[in-house]
Amino acid sequence: MSTPVANVVTIVTGAASGIGAACVRRLAERGDTVVGVDLAAEVDGRVRALGGALGVIADVSTSVACDAAVAQAVERFGRVDHVVSAAGIECNAPAHEMDDDTWSLVQRVNVDGSFFMARAVGRHLIAAGRPGSVVLLGSINSAMAMPGQVAYASSKGAVLQLGRGLAVDWGRHGIRVNVVGPGVIDTPLNARSFADPARIGYYAGRAPLGRHGEPSEVASVVAFLTSTDASYVTGAFVAVDGGWLAGEVPPSRREY
C-alpha cells in the first residue's frame, strides 16, 4: 500500500459501476476523499457505500457538467488532486452497420468526456499552483482492434493519445497523466460476454495468465499511478490485461 498523503481529494468518473466503483473503494481505503461522478441516479448512495465522500450526477460528455462537478468538489472539500476517468461506453456493430449517432456517442463519452474532466481538473491544479495526476481508462483496444469494435477501438486509441498529449502539455506544471489499458474485466460493461460461456472461455484462454481480470486488479494499478510511488511516471500506457498485448498462447501450445 502506498504512503497516504493527508487531505487528498480524488474524483472518479464512472463511479457507480465496475472499475470506477472499485477505484472509489480502493482510493477511499487509502484515505483519499473520493468524489464519484456518474450518469446514474444512484451514484451518491453507491459512492458513500463504497467509502467515498460524495456522488455527483453528471454526464461527462458535456464540458459544462464536468466543470460544475469539479467546482462542486472544490467548493465542498477545498481542492482536487487527482482525477480517474473511468466513465465509458461500448457498442458492438460492424463498421458498415454503424449509424452516425452511435459513432458520435461513443466518441463523446469516451474521448470528449475524458478530455473535459481532465481539463477541468488541470485548470484547477494549474491555477492553484499544485501538482496532481490524471488517470485515463484506455483499453487493450487502445492498441489493437477486435471485430465489431470500430467505434470503441477508435475512441480508446484516441484516449491513449489524449493521455500522451496531456502529459506533454502539463509536465512542467507537475501534473502526471497516465493511461491504464485493461483487458477483459468482469464488469457490467461485459455482461453479454460473461453470459456466453464460449466467448468468455475464449477470452480467458487468449490471455497468457489464462483468466479474466477483476475490477480490483485495475483499481490497484490506478492507486499506484495516483500515488507518490509513481512520482516519475507520466505519459505511460500501463496494460492490466493478463498479458494479452504481450502475445498469444494458443491452448494447444500451453505445454511448451
Positions annotated as catalytic residues are: 152
In angstroms, give the least distance from the CB of 93 to ligand NAD: 16
| Distance (Å, whole) CA 78 – CA 9 | 9
Contacts with ligand NAD, 90-129, as mask; x by CB under 6 A: -------------------x---x----------------
Of positions 10, 33, 133, 139, contacts ligand NAD by CB under 6 A: 139
Task: For residue 137, state whether it binds ligand NAD (rule: CB under 6 A).
Answer: yes
| Distance (Å, whole) CA 26 – CA 114 | 21
| Distance (Å, whole) CA 139 – CA 128 | 31
Task: Using the rule CB under 6 A, give the single segment among 18-26, 27-35, 66-74, 164-172 that binds ligand NAD.
Answer: 18-26
Task: For residue 201, state whether it binds ligand NAD (rule: CB under 6 A).
Answer: no
Contacts with ligand NAD, 29-58, as mask; x by CB under 6 A: ---------xxx------------------
Task: For residue 187, state whether it binds ligand NAD (rule: CB under 6 A).
Answer: yes
Task: For residue 60, state whether it binds ligand NAD (rule: CB under 6 A).
Answer: yes
| Distance (Å, whole) CA 220 – CA 125 | 24
What are the distances in angstroms from CA 5 to CA 30, 33, 175, 238? Answer: 9, 11, 16, 23
User: All 3 cell numbers of residue 81?
Assistant: 488532486
Task: For residue 178, state whether it binds ligand NAD (rule: CB under 6 A).
Answer: no
| Contact assessment for residue 177 and residue 234, using Cβ atoms and an 8 Å cutoff | yes
- For residue 60, give the DSSP letter: T
Question: How many other C-beta atoms can be found within 10 angstroms of the C-beta atom of residue 85?
Answer: 31
The region, left, alpha or beta by phi > 0 then psi within -120 to 50, assigned to residue 88 is beta
Of positions 10, 11, 12, 20, contacts ligand NAD by CB under 6 A: 20
Question: Which residues would be at the binding site for ligand NAD (CB under 6 A)?
Answer: 13-14, 16-20, 38-40, 59-61, 86-89, 109, 113, 137, 139, 182, 184-185, 187-190
